[in-house]
Structures are given as structure tokens and as C-alpha cells.
Amino acid sequence: MFIDEARILVKAGDGGNGCVAFRREKFVPRGGPSGGDGGRGGDVVMWASQQHNTLIHFRYNPEHKAERGRHGEGSNCTGRDGDSIFLKVPVGTTVYDYETGELIHDFSRPGEEFVVAKGGRGGRGNQHFATPTHQAPRESEPGRQGEERLYRLELKLLADVGLVGYPNAGKSTLISRISAARPKIADYPFTTLEPNLGVVTVGQAPNEESYVVADMPGLIQGAHLGSGLGIQFLRHIERTRVLVHLVDVSDASGRPDPVEDFKVICAELENFGHGLMDKPMVVVATKVDTANPAKLKKLSTSAKRRKLEFHTISSVTGEGIEDLKWAIAKIVREARIAEAIPVAPVF
């Protein structure tokens, strides 16, 4: 089950209380107050893991509490600190404050850590309150409470390439041909109910290149307003570097104008915002083994007019698949280079 949203309550450990104690042992030259400090409460830490690709483990376990610190003891013994807990989240998870909607943190790299709730400080024992005029203090501090926060987690998949298009445009079939992903494929709309990821490799070692492709559920008109399944998954292509727009040019789709189909999907991407239409786009005519020549020519002319790279493929026969893989690899490589931040030399 693919879960990309969850609400969780995190509670850091409270600090231990300070102790009130006195040493009255025989042969101990320095007696007096000897109350130890309380231990610090444990933190709640989130950690980006590549072994997770869904938030389902938070859906059924929404509350997480760290251990509290132990109280101080006599003989100036400090209480033990509470153990922190580590919550593993998929890379690409964003953490929002549930009440205000403020973005707290964005996990974009594997192994990244962030403290989402800090443990309380331990209270001071009575040894800290002794003065020359107050040599037998009976004061101590209680431990501070650990932070308690309510968060909303949202997962945005990290992929280099996003496949978009109408339902049954051939997205699932394409990703099954170019990667090891095996999504459900059927001849009815909305076969894909959740995003699928696949790793595509081109070239031979040691010069091979790879990139990650995300297969999105089909979009329809009004997707940005909630129609169909698109609104639930459009966020997953926010982080992609390249969009590959698949358009069915066969008569089996039942839609007469492929250019109009292309415009509808582009309008949905633009209305959703988040810079989707600013990304490099490749237009791909699918099912060319059964293509309507008039539709194919019309779509090709429209892509050239928009100065978009255009490819024709047939996932059934394999026609154009290799050329498309290499073309996408080139665009991804250029996008990665453009995103690289130069490091200033150290003298």
C-alpha cells in the first residue's frame, strides 16, 4: 500500500528531577548537600532512509515518545539521560507543522537527520544551591518538559524523470520496457493507482549512466481541482528534472485530437503550479505500430512549433525505445550539471 501523507504526534522525554540529599558519613571530611542533577530527556530524531518508500508505518503508529531522564540521586550522582528515538522516513519527505502549516524540514538526502522534538533539560540538585550563608539547602529543580509537537508528513518522490499523460497513454508499459519495474497494465483507465519507480540504465560499464523514472497515474481535465487521481500524485513530479509527456496517436484511445490532449495535460500542470511547466519536456507519440498517420503528423508539427523534442515509440514492438532512453539520459545529464553548485577553492 502506497501512503504519501501521515499525521504524527511526537513527544520528547522529560528531564529528570534534581535530588535533595545530604552526606553525613563518618570520616567524610566534606559533607553537606549532595543531591545530583536529573538526566536529560531523549530527543525525537527523524532520519532519511533509502529502505523506505512509503509512510505506511506512520499511518498505523502515529504516536512516538522518547524516554524521560532519570532523577538525580544522592552522593552527587547525576541521573541517566533518556534514550532518543529515531524515526525512519523515506528520502523526499517534507515535515510540516500541523497547526500552522509551516515547513519544518525537507529530507532530500539519504542519511540526513533532524531533531523534530528536543528532550527536556534535567533539574539541578540541591548541591547547586549551597552558599556560605545557606549551607543546608533543601531546594531542587524539577526537570523541564520535553517538546510535544504535532506534524504532517508529506512524501514527494525523488525521481529524475516523470511520465505524464492521459490514462492508457502507455506510461506503465513504457516503464516496464525501460526498467525492471513491473506495474499493473490493463486496457482500462486508471490502471495505475499509485506512482511506480524504475531505474533506467544506458551504456556499458564503466561509462554507464542511470536515472530514476516515475510513472504517474493518468491525468484528466480538472485534475488540479481533484478530478481523477491526479491531484493526489501531482506533487510527486515536483522534484523531477524532466517531464516526458506521452500522447496516444492510435484510434484505440477514442479521442480524436492528440494536440488537444497535449494542451489539456499541459494546462493541468500549469494550474497545479510549483514550476512544473518550467521543466524540460519531451513529447512522445505512443502506439505508433497502430498509429493514425494524420494524428501523428499533427502532434509532430505541434511539438516542433513549440520547440519541444519529439519521439515516436511502440512499447509492443520496441520501436524508438532505445533512442528515447538515450535522449532522456542526455537531458537528465545536462539538468544535473546545471543544478550542480560550484565549490569555491580553499587556499
C-alpha to C-alpha distance for 212 and 234, rounded to whole angstroms: 17
Query: 161-339: same fold as 5-155?
Result: no
So what's the pLDDT on residue 345? 45
pLDDT digits (tens, 9 = 90+) for 272-322: 777 888 888 999 999 888 888 999 999 999 999 999 999 999 888 889 999
Q: Is the pLDDT of residue 190 over 50?
A: no
C-alpha to C-alpha distance for 267 and 277, rounded to whole angstroms: 9
Looking at the structure, give the CATH architecture of the domain made up of residues 5-155: Distorted Sandwich (2.70)
Q: Is the pLDDT of residue 186 over 60?
A: no
Give which of 22, 54, 56, 55 is closest to 36, Cα–Cα.
Answer: 22
C-alpha to C-alpha distance for 244 and 242, rounded to whole angstroms: 7
The fraction of the chain above a pLDDT of 90, given in percent, is 40
Angle at 254 between CA 248 and CA 255, to 5 degrees: 65
In DSSP terms, which residues pair with 9 in a beta bridge?
63, 150
Amino acid letter, residue 230: G
Q: Is the pLDDT of residue 188 over 50?
A: no
So what's the pLDDT on residue 86? 95
Angle at 242 between CA 307 and CA 186, to 5 degrees: 105
Pull the grid cell for residue 99. Answer: 497547526
Q: Which is more confident, 199 or 300?
A: 300
Beta-carbon contacts of 290 under 8 Å, excluding residues fewer than 6 positions away, are 250, 251, 252
C-alpha to C-alpha distance for 301 and 172, rounded to whole angstroms: 26
So what's the pLDDT on residue 189? 46
So what's the pLDDT on residue 221? 58
pLDDT digits (tens, 9 = 90+) for 218-266: 665 554 444 445 555 677 777 788 899 999 888 877 778 889 888 988 8
Task: Judge: domain 161-339, CATH 1.10.3720.10.
Answer: no
SS3 of residue 321 by DSSP: helix
- Give the domain ranges of the chain: 5-155, 161-339
Amino acid letter, residue 58: F
> For the chain, what is the mean pLDDT?
84
